[in-house]
Amino acid sequence: MIRVGVIGTGAMGQNHVRIYSEMEDVELAGISDVDKNRVEAMAAQFKTKAFTDYKEMFAEELDAVSVVVPTKLHKQVVLDALEAGLHVLVEKPIADTVENADMMIEAAKEAGKVLMVGHIERFNPAVIRLKEIIDSGILGKIVSISTRRVGPYNPRIRDVGVILDIGVHDIDVISYLYDKKIKGVYAIAGADIHSFEDHASIILRMDKNFAGVVETNWLTPHKVRQLTAIGIKGVAYLDYIDQTVELHDNGWIRKAKVEPSEPLKNELTYFIDCIKTGKEPKPCGEDGKHALEVAMAAIRSYEEERLIELGK
């Protein structure tokens, strides 16, 4: 049995708690949150122990924790968990600054512990299937991947703008599907209703002939989560929500076979497997850092109104 704890029991943290409590090879040994009433109510519901100080929870002989707290708190909580000898899954984005991400990555290496970043869309069955399709060559060389991740504002998000909150999902997915690092970013964005940017159009450049486009906002009254991958032999249309992939070429329109499942459950199952086997997780800390670097570059790009080159 792997003994796990969850730090942060807000909307996303509650899902971590629920899924860990259902896993056969995992014991949910404790949950922590600064909201005493909430964490105690959840602990009673899921038959585990409640803590308002996550460091006290570390005494429960844990093997691992999920860190599901506001982004600005990621660094300190993750460093404390690694120092306590725990494996860590931290929600995306990995940190609030690239420097803090570097500290977390280095600490995990020194501790010899798993540091996995919760880029949940990599565990969406539709994304997994599309990656297999792209790698098989059915679509030919992929030249452009574009995404739309739009919908109404979530009032619980107060510490970051739309790029770091939801745009970072597609930044990571585009890099993952291409299996390439992003080298250049140009973004147009603005904060018209909220204190941080609430809409953004981001152009990504991998190598010279490979492009990515991310459209994201908190202004659209209905939620859309879609991706289009254009290859020289065909086009794939993916819906993250419906978990579907449709292929179009000169002769056929085909639907790929996708077995629906809960991405977070897939992610946490994979995290536990990495702990058991000792294999390096994907997405690892470096993957999370790259997505953060690109997202931060997009913010700089729209603020400075220029192309931002990475890796120079």
Last residue of a domain, one of 71, 97, 113: 113
In a domain, 280, yes or no: no
The pLDDT value given to residue 312: 64
Name the one residue in this structure whose structure tokens are 């597609």: 170
Domain final residue pick, 87, 113, 139: 113
212-236: b (≥16 Cβ within 10 Å) or e: bbbbbbbebeeebbbbebbbeebbb
Dist CA 77 CA 80 (whole Å):
5
Same domain, 87 and 60: yes
Can you give the pLDDT of all 312 residues of the chain as single tens digits?
999 999 999 999 999 999 999 999 999 999 999 999 999 999 999 999 999 999 999 999 999 999 999 999 999 999 999 999 999 999 999 999 999 999 999 999 999 999 999 999 999 999 999 999 999 999 999 999 999 999 998 777 677 899 999 999 999 999 999 999 999 999 999 999 888 999 999 999 998 889 999 999 999 999 999 999 999 999 999 999 999 999 999 999 999 999 999 999 999 999 999 999 999 999 999 999 999 999 999 999 999 999 999 976
36 and 80, same domain (yes or no): yes
For residue 31, is it within any domain? yes
Asked if residue 222 and residue 172 are part of one domain, the reply reads yes
Burial of 180 (0-12, 13-18, 19+ CB in 10 A): middle
Could you tell me if 159 and 16 lie in one domain? Answer: no
CATH of the domain at 78: 3.40.50.720
Residue ranges making up the domain that contains 145: 121-261+292-309
In a domain, 73, yes or no: yes
Indicate the SS3 state at residue 121: helix
Identify the CATH number of the domain in which residue 161 sits.
3.30.360.10
Residue type for position 8: G
Tell me, yes or no, whether 97 and 156 share the same domain: no
Same domain, 168 and 250: yes
Instruction: Provide the domain count of the chain.
Output: 2
Residue 182 placed within a domain: yes
Domain boundary among 94, 113, 132: 113
Cα–Cα dist 57/62, whole Å: 8
Looking at residue 113, its pLDDT comes to 98
Residue 148 maps to a domain: yes
108 with 117: CB under 8 angstroms?
no
Q: Is residue 273 one of the residues assigned to a domain?
A: no
Are 76 and 141 in the same domain? no
- My answer on whether 102 and 141 are in the same domain is no
Residues 39 and 74 both lie in one domain:
yes
Q: Are residues 90 and 234 in the same domain?
A: no
For residues 143 and 207, membership in a common domain is answered with: yes
CA distance 32 to 54: 5
Q: Does residue 103 form part of some domain?
A: yes
Residue 130 lies in a domain: yes
Whether residues 140 and 244 fall in one domain: yes
Cis amide linkage into residue 283, ω under 30° from 0: yes
